[in-house]
Amino acid sequence: MNRTKGWWIAAGLLMGLALVAFLMWWLPVVIADLTLAAERGQVQALREALAAGQGGPVGFQAVARAIRPSVVSISSLAKIPVQGPRSRRPPMPNIPDEFRWFFGPDLDRFFQFPDPEEFTRRGLGSGVIVSADGYILTNHHVVAQATEIEVTLSDGRRFSGKIVGSDERTDLALVKIDATGLIPAVLGNSEAVEVGEWVLAVGSPFGLEQTVTAGIISAKGRSDVGIADYEDFIQTDAAINPGNSGGPLVNMRAEVIGINTAIATRGAAGFQGVGFAIPSNMAKAVMEAILRHGRVERGYIGVTLQPLTEELSRSFGYEGTKGALVADVVPDGPASKAGVQPGDIIVEFDGKSVEGVTQLRNMVAMTRPGTKVNIVVFREGRRVELRGVEIGQFPEDTPIRGVPRREQVPNLGLSVQTLTPQVAATLGLPENEKGVVVTEVEPGSLAAMAGIRPGDVIQVVGNRQVTTAQEFRDALREAGQQGIRLQIRRGDTRLFVFLRGAGER
């Protein structure tokens, strides 16, 4: 009986210990879940209050509390192969003969070190949680070529991350961590933001996690910044520094309206009041494309575009400089099949007004291939609607080619000759190409000022096609004294230029 009783006591102790161990494991998990649930509830209530109209300078604290649980720090490690010539080895030291005798023929290898085949690059940036199950938006350059990624949440928890997809052309990437129950940010409508609106930037500048800075929207639609191929940046004066990249720019409703990506320093050491963020609408489109296809499939219509100047606009009988001038059309491309012609000015795309080349290029790129849209062009004094233009898929290995800028040189000094099959061959053009080739451009002349270069082929003067040097001179003589529009071919691209005062007397 005593033995039986002892067994029962031992069994009871073991069960008690097991229960205690289970409670010690289970209670922290439950407490953590309850704490996270409470935080989610508080953040949700706070965001709803902000969306109802609270905000302004006195609301900075509330906005910061509402967004910080959705902001993460990202550290990455990338092993980059060493390319190019190896570094020079240091000279061999002057070694006494006794040591040479001791080491023998293996002496040299003890004093020479192999060049590294790769180097390790460590990166630090920020990101914003966009789903409760661990998807995070950040910049491409934060995680580019990374072999290891570590994500630190606002509560200090650390997770290993993996790249779901990355898009260098917009400098955006999507990272995934193995976590649930996270607090995602709300992606707002970046089209609705206005210049002068208060915003907060959140991230980890210089490794200082969860840093919040305030400013305003300084400008919208910034392009030609030189950061990415597709640029439509929101400019802000909220302080952005190294480490902020990938973090959110939020409005006073705690909605993400941009992904912070870069600063303009003009050679200075740090932030100078000019920062740039990728609009949330662009970021959302890229994210959805990555989730659907694993990569971004961009729209394509097959045209070369150039900005409108006042002179070019007047030469086409068009008022203003809003729109995008079609300089060339790719044969058998979507635009060609739809009837778009060189000299058309695209003024509407899919029901939206076209302000300029950058905006149109971004709209086309963000339109899903296979989609049919309507395009309105200005042609020969009237608006022409081209219906059902089917968007093609942009070949990602094609470089984004811009139109060369005009050289602003003060003072029609140029020499031309008829384009012959032999000359065409030397220029890499089809032998049946017609026009006159520019053989010389005088510095400071009207031609130089318009950006005309030797090797350019002039094919149209005003509305008249020219195939010989004589036809070119005759067409110029008929031109007005205020200037004339030329259509030229430069390599594989056609474009328009405007010559001031080009008519001959």
Q: Taking a C-beta distance cutoff of 8 angstroms, is the pair 70, 47 a contact?
A: no
The token pair at 241 is: 């520094």
φ/ψ (deg, to 5) at 207: 80, 5
E strand or H helix at 213, and its extent?
A: strand 211-222
DSSP SS3 for 85: coil
Give me the residues paired with residue 328 across strands. Answer: 304
The token pair at 349 is: 């795309």
Tally of CB atoms within 10 A around 337: 15
CA angle 218, 69, 178 (to 5 degrees): 120
Give me the residues paired with residue 464 across strands. Answer: 461
Task: Choose among 70, 66, 64, 60: nearest CA to 47.
Answer: 66
Beta strands in 345-482 (DSSP E): 345-349, 352-353, 372-379, 382-390, 392-393, 414-418, 436-441, 457-461, 464-465
User: In the 8-state DSSP scheme, what is residue 204?
Assistant: -
Active site amino acids: 141, 171, 245
Q: Taking a C-beta distance cutoff of 8 angstroms, is the pair 176, 136 a contact?
A: yes
**What is the DSSP track for 183-212?**
-PPEE--GGG--TT-EEEEEE-GGG-TTEE
E strand or H helix at 107, and its extent?
A: helix 107-110
The token pair at 431 is: 């032998």
d(CA 326, CA 323): 10
CA dihedral for 227, 230, 232, 233, sign (positive or negative): negative
User: In the 8-state DSSP scheme, what is residue 482?
Assistant: T
Task: Choose among 505, 450, 456: nearest CA to 480.
Answer: 505
Q: Taking a C-beta distance cutoff of 8 angstroms, is the pair 326, 344 a contact?
A: yes
Tally of CB atoms within 10 A around 489: 22
Give me the residues paired with residue 74 across strands. Answer: 125, 151
The token pair at 215 is: 């400013």
Give me the residues paired with residue 485 across strands. Answer: 498
Q: Taking a C-beta distance cutoff of 8 angstroms, is the pair 120, 175 a contact?
A: no
Residue that the structure tokens 């000299």 belong to: 343
Q: Taking a C-beta distance cutoff of 8 angstroms, is the pair 260, 201 a contact?
A: yes
Task: Choose among 195, 282, 172, 263: nearest CA to 225.
Answer: 263
